[in-house]
A and B are shown apart, each in its own frame.
Chain A
Amino acid sequence: EAQVTQNPRYLITVTGKKLTVTCSQNMNHEYMSWYRQDPGLGLRQIYYSMNVEVTDKGDVPEGYKVSRKEKRNFPLILESPSPNQTSLYFCASSLARHPSLNEQFFGPGTRLTVL
């Protein structure tokens, strides 16, 4: 089954404790991205990756890091989480960034709470 998986689905942590949210897709997609969703603000893009070893900032990259060492994986790293990073996070992938091919597949989400 074609899918995007995220782990963990729920996480409660404390300020400053480094964490990683994993994202994996099994569709051989080139493009992957991370979004956060907060009430009243919709989905905002954090980082994206056009392909292996190619990553770039989205609209709200501060406080986050990513890596793309393999095509299927795109982990989101919070080196020193803060309470303002409490949010619902989604990973997504698509075949390519051509406008006609960018049907995005989303993961189930990770609900993160930073105390």
Chain B
Amino acid sequence: DAKTTQPPSMDCAEGRAANLPCNHSTISGNEYVYWYRQIHSQGPQYIIHGLKNNETNEMASLIITEDRKSSTLILPHATLRDTAVYYCIVETGANNLFFGTGTRLTVIP
């Protein structure tokens, strides 16, 4: 399965954009990039996913590089409630999924 690499932690000032990077250099052409987040010990929450084109929804934007080897999740105006662990996952369609350890984002007042 294609694996991902994320920084273990990041800080972001409240009200500023949070840009969370993810490397997935072994991604294949038909594999999607998914992002989830986990607030404290709650169940992970789906945020967004994409294949090639940039995507935007009410929560975030996803920017995927042209070669698809990396992506960035953008929270346009981070709030304290966005403090969480963010997981970048390559969805291969295989039967099992690999979440990894994610990036712990701390939004600072």
Contact = CB atoms under 8 A, between A and B. Distances in A.
Contacts of B95: 48, 50, 56, 97
Interface string A51-76: 00000101100000000000000000
A99 B30 contact: yes
Contacts of B45: 106
A90 B36 CA distance: 14
Interface residues of A, number: 30
B96 A99 contact: no
Interface residues of B, number: 25
A43 B93 contact: no
A102 interface: yes
Contact of A108 (B34, B42, B98): B42
Interface stretch (A11-19, A33-41, A77-85): A33-41
A109 B101 contact: no
Interface of A: 4, 33, 35, 40-45, 48, 50, 56, 58-59, 88, 90, 92, 97-100, 102-109, 111
